[in-house]
Chain A
């Protein structure tokens, strides 16, 4: 137990844990915004927008996140010198790492958010829209009071899965030098090889603590909100 506490203290594990949470929250907000736009493109009646949305999803989804993070840090920041840090920052390396990292996370997971929302729309039967029109609702009314509420309920479960995957995928950003949990894990093992198992269990437990409640919450939410059909 003493070993564990000294590890956590010495390697700033709590800071790394907090960093993972920060990346998850900011990345999730970013991917939700971007993913919603892509989803709107993909279900729109305009063929050009649909093509752009489909193209984005196909390209980004088949590229490894590691490659995307790598492009953001090495190609865009390194080779092209696109800095996102504030001009007078003293810790511009850290700032750039975090901001580009969040962009990589958001760009990658936006595809999954878009697909989750689209699958939610696809769970709504055609008859619902026809019934809405039959009782005299116009397009805006049927969208806001009939179709979207059901579509959101249908996309709760896949959105929950995406959030959990996003939480775990923040580890990839250790390549970019963001000091999150897997980065701390590497440092710990390099310094204290004898505590290998304890370190692994510590990091694994941290992720279980982060993902288990989220999973349970989304499962119960999707069951409670499920549309009886």
Chain B
């Protein structure tokens, strides 16, 4: 990123370099000043956030063993189950949208568009109360709500990914399959789908980040995820702000690592060329099905 020449600027000359240095120093000082003001605000005598009592709980084993780690485990569990279910249903829906039969195609299209338009939280609330009033699940309704809410939305996103992945393959792939005597559906499953999924792999990993962030919505319906258990713990010690800082750091570290994995996968695939498809050309890693290339993009998959 650092020494790349952009379309906007030439390589700076001596005058520009001096100007950049001045702007840089001023901006850096302003940034440090803002940081100082925030820290001073947090440390004001009325509610000092930097006392030992506020931070000491993070040195106790029980803090981690009873609250934060179980919370993290719940978050990861929900995310993993949701992504597995989403991939299974998403592949089926994605293939449904590519089917020969017009009725199947239309039905899958309606399902995908509908669940893409409905916010994850609305899906979660519905599944939560569905589990409560219709299925009568004893004290499992929050877990059910989180999983189903996440799955409904993400299966639609993954279906779109599969569809755009298959569309990104050269037409010759399908024709070659037909030429060696496979039926349409055989060539879909044996030739197109594996390549589409390979091409989509980085986007799938990025989608995992989206799902992980969305598990925090579970806190709203009482699922004991990382956010919820952090909040419960902070009520015990009265150290809300330090807890929020620690919890945010945990989310950021996990999600940032996943983003790096996605980038690494993308580069590795570009080198190895395992698939004839191309990963969606977009710089919005959170938004896999939307590419910056307007010709291939449809607006609507807002997986932020």
Partner of B251, one of A50, A67, A80: A67
Partner of B302, one of A74, A125, A168, A182: A168
Interface of B is mostly: helix
* Count, chain A residues at interface, CB 8 A: 85
Q: How far is the CA of A122 from the CA of B284 in the complex (A)?
A: 12
- State whether the Cβ of A164 lies closer than 8 Å to any Cβ in chain B: yes
Q: How far is the CA of A33 from the CA of B264 in the complex (A)?
A: 32
Q: Which of A104-146 contact B (CB under 8 A)?
A: 109, 112, 115-116, 118-126, 128-129, 133, 143
Known contacts A119-B283, A223-B294: A186-B125 contact under CB 8 Å: yes
Cβ of A63 and Cβ of B240 under 8 Å apart?
Answer: no
Cβ of B300 and Cβ of A67 under 8 Å apart?
Answer: no
Q: Which residues of B contact A19 (CB under 8 A)?
A: none
Cβ of B259 and Cβ of A79 under 8 Å apart?
Answer: no
Known contacts A182-B122, A219-B299: A62-B117 contact under CB 8 Å: no
Most buried by B among A52, A62, A169, A212: A62
Interface stretch, picked from B90-98, B172-180, B184-192, B285-293, is: B285-293
Known contacts A79-B47, A112-B287, A207-B122: A43-B6 contact under CB 8 Å: yes
Q: How far is the CA of A162 from the CA of B300 in the complex (A)?
A: 9
Q: Which residues of A contact B247 (CB under 8 A)?
A: 67
Encode A54-89 as 1/0 by CB contact (under 8 A) with B.
Answer: 100011011111110011001100111000000000
Cβ of B220 and Cβ of A48 under 8 Å apart?
Answer: no
Q: How far is the CA of A210 from the CA of B163 in the complex (A)?
A: 25
Known contacts A157-B294, A182-B119: A54-B1 contact under CB 8 Å: yes
Partner of A62, one of B1, B16, B251: B251
CB distance from A83 to the nearest CB of B (A): 14
Encode B92-127 as 1/0 by CB contact (under 8 A) with A.
Answer: 000000000000000000000010011111100110
Known contacts A52-B27, A120-B292: A168-B119 contact under CB 8 Å: yes
Interface stretch, picked from A2-10, A91-99, A196-204, is: A196-204
Q: Which residues of A contact B214 (CB under 8 A)?
A: 64
Interface of A is mostly: helix
Cβ of B297 and Cβ of A46 under 8 Å apart?
Answer: no
Q: Which residues of B contact A54 (CB under 8 A)?
A: 1
Q: Which of A31-50 contact B (CB under 8 A)?
A: 43, 45-50
Q: Which residues of B contact A123 (CB under 8 A)?
A: 292-293
Cβ of A226 and Cβ of B295 under 8 Å apart?
Answer: yes
- State whether the Cβ of A178 lies closer than 8 Å to any Cβ in chain B: no
Q: Which of B207-235 contact A (CB under 8 A)?
A: 209, 212-217, 219-220, 227, 231
Q: How far is the CA of A48 from the CA of B28 in the complex (A)?
A: 7
Cβ of B292 and Cβ of A119 under 8 Å apart?
Answer: yes
Known contacts A47-B2, A122-B292, A128-B7: A75-B244 contact under CB 8 Å: yes
Q: Which residues of B contact A67 (CB under 8 A)?
A: 216, 227, 244, 247-248, 251
Cβ of B227 and Cβ of A62 under 8 Å apart?
Answer: no
Q: How far is the CA of A62 from the CA of B133 in the complex (A)?
A: 35
Q: Give me the interface of B with A, judged by CB distance under 8 Å.
A: 1-2, 5-10, 12, 16, 20, 23-25, 27-28, 31, 41-42, 47, 114, 117-122, 125-126, 129-130, 133-134, 209, 212-217, 219-220, 227, 231, 240-241, 244, 247-248, 251-252, 254-256, 259, 282-284, 286-287, 290-295, 297-304
Q: Give me the interface of A with B, judged by CB distance under 8 Å.
A: 43, 45-50, 52, 54, 58-59, 61-67, 70-71, 74-75, 78-80, 109, 112, 115-116, 118-126, 128-129, 133, 143, 147, 153-158, 160-166, 168-169, 171-172, 174-175, 181-182, 185-186, 189, 193, 196, 200, 203-204, 207-208, 211-212, 214-216, 218-219, 222-223, 225-226
The 4 A-B pairs with the shortest beta carbon distances in the complex, nearest first, are: A165-B302, A64-B216, A62-B255, A48-B24
Contacts A48-B28, A66-B217, A168-B118 given; 15 further ones with Cβ under 8 A? A71-B248, A75-B241, A112-B287, A119-B283, A119-B284, A119-B292, A122-B7, A123-B292, A133-B10, A154-B292, A161-B300, A174-B121, A204-B118, A223-B294, A226-B294
- Complex A-B: 13 CB contacts under 8 Å: A46-B20, A48-B31, A62-B256, A80-B47, A119-B282, A154-B292, A157-B292, A158-B284, A158-B292, A164-B299, A164-B300, A174-B220, A203-B122
